[in-house]
Amino acid sequence: MFTRRSLLAATGGIAAASVARSALAALPEPAYPAGPQTEPPPLPPSGRPFHPVVTLNGWSAPWRMNQGWKEFHLVAEPVVREMAPGMKANLWGYNGQSPGPTIEAVEGDRVRLFVTNRLPEHTTVHWHGQILPSGMDGVGGLSQPQIKPGETYVYEFELKKSGTFMYHPHADEMVQMAMGMMGFFVVHPRDPNQHRVDRDFVFLINAYDIEPGAATPKIATMTEFNLWSWNSRVFPGIDPLVVRQGDRVRIRMGNLTMTNHPIHLHGYDFAVTCTDGGWVPPSARWPEVTIDMPVGAMRAFEFDAVNPGDWAFHCHKSHHTMNAMGHDVPTMIGVDHGHVARRMVTLVPDYMVMGERGMADMGDMEMPLPDNTLPMMTGRGPFGPIEMGGMFSVLKVREGLARGDYRDPGWYRNPPGTVAYKWKG
Ligand SMILES: [Cu+2]
């Protein structure tokens, strides 16, 4: 799980922003992820200590220390992302994946971020939420020239505050964000015991419009997306959030879609503790069970995982927990088209009637699908079909897990007498 294919960057033309030429003699190697699974992060190999985050279906970028600078290398390039088993998308991302790797550093670190452009068009990187010099803010045309294909640019700044941030292009944004270019950026407190939690999960909320059977997103779509994803994965491709009972848990999210998402956690109430503007003072934290994620914003919430079980965790917009194909279905509830179906079958042997009693049948149906798409309602749990897709996962709270164990423990075994049951009169 910790092995990563490391590929050497072909160094393109190098344009230095404000860095000594000697520092650019050799670029840091950009590491690549092993796959679309969640990679539990190793402890920081160098630099100041911190408690690393877990990127859902993702990973954290390695770095090297160079004369007091913490150096990262992002390569912007086309990638293939498996959104769930059975469907792959042609996206743009960083270091072989969309989203790119999570950048983790510590308040006070001086970071040097090399960005190599291997896209067919120019790009930049904006460091959303960071307090930095205007010329490092990454807005193409405004704060710097765009990075042309083949060029490498350098961003250098000191991390002024800890918190929850992200990065994304500020060049041809509509296209580059619709294609999946984004990544998480966590700045840990200088004191590792400040804001300390036991498990700290991060993901970006994103969305794509990919026709069933196609693989490349439609980049001009404004609101009618058909794949609602977390870290460019959809249920049942989103890993569960595995937690040891009693742990203090933090979940951090950023929203880079074109609409808000009310993210709902079952089984718990939680406190909103951080935004991309900073930490919420304890006296100002507010309780929720659903947190609305505004567009272009980040939120973190925390809870003590005292209640064991399998707890649904999802967007509360019901179209966002469905995959492609579910959005243009006509309403057939109450329509008796039995005799139409009998006639149709004589003409079209595979003709199928759907939806006259609702659509729950579809969650348990083997339907022929075009290549490279996903059923709109899918997933199986211990009691049957879960009938979900898109932005849905499960928080799995279990007794007695080891500290660093994030492996899926399977389904929860409910104690006797604690499951809803059928009334037999
Ligand atoms: Cu949503």
pLDDT of residue 324: 78
The mean pLDDT of 319-326, rounded to a whole number, is 80
Is 99 within 8 Å of 232 (Cβ atoms)?
Answer: yes
**C-alpha of residue 316 to centroid of ligand 1, in Å:** 6
**C-alpha of residue 363 to centroid of ligand 1, in Å:** 20
Confidence check: pLDDT of 332 > 90: no
pLDDT of residue 42: 78
The mean pLDDT of 40-51, rounded to a whole number, is 89
Task: Flag the least confident range among 105-119, 128-142, 328-342.
Answer: 328-342
Q: Which residues surround ligand 1, an ion (CB under 5 A)?
A: 261, 315, 317, 320
**C-alpha of residue 142 to centroid of ligand 1, in Å:** 32
Confidence check: pLDDT of 7 > 50: no
Rounded Cα–Cα distance for residues 48 and 111 (Å): 13
| Residue whose C-alpha is closest to residue 11's, from 118, 113, 96, 92 | 118
Rounded Cα–Cα distance for residues 202 and 215 (Å): 26
SS3 for 113? strand
Is 124 within 8 Å of 146 (Cβ atoms)?
Answer: yes
pLDDT tens digits along 385-424: 898 989 999 999 999 999 889 999 999 999 999 999 999 9
Confidence check: pLDDT of 246 > 90: yes
pLDDT of residue 387: 87
**C-alpha of residue 255 to centroid of ligand 1, in Å:** 10
pLDDT of residue 14: 41
The full set of domains in the chain, from first to last, is 13-196 (2.60.40.420)
Which helix (H) or strand (E) covers residue 178, if one does? Answer: helix 173-178
pLDDT tens digits along 264-305: 999 999 999 999 999 999 999 999 999 999 999 999 999 999
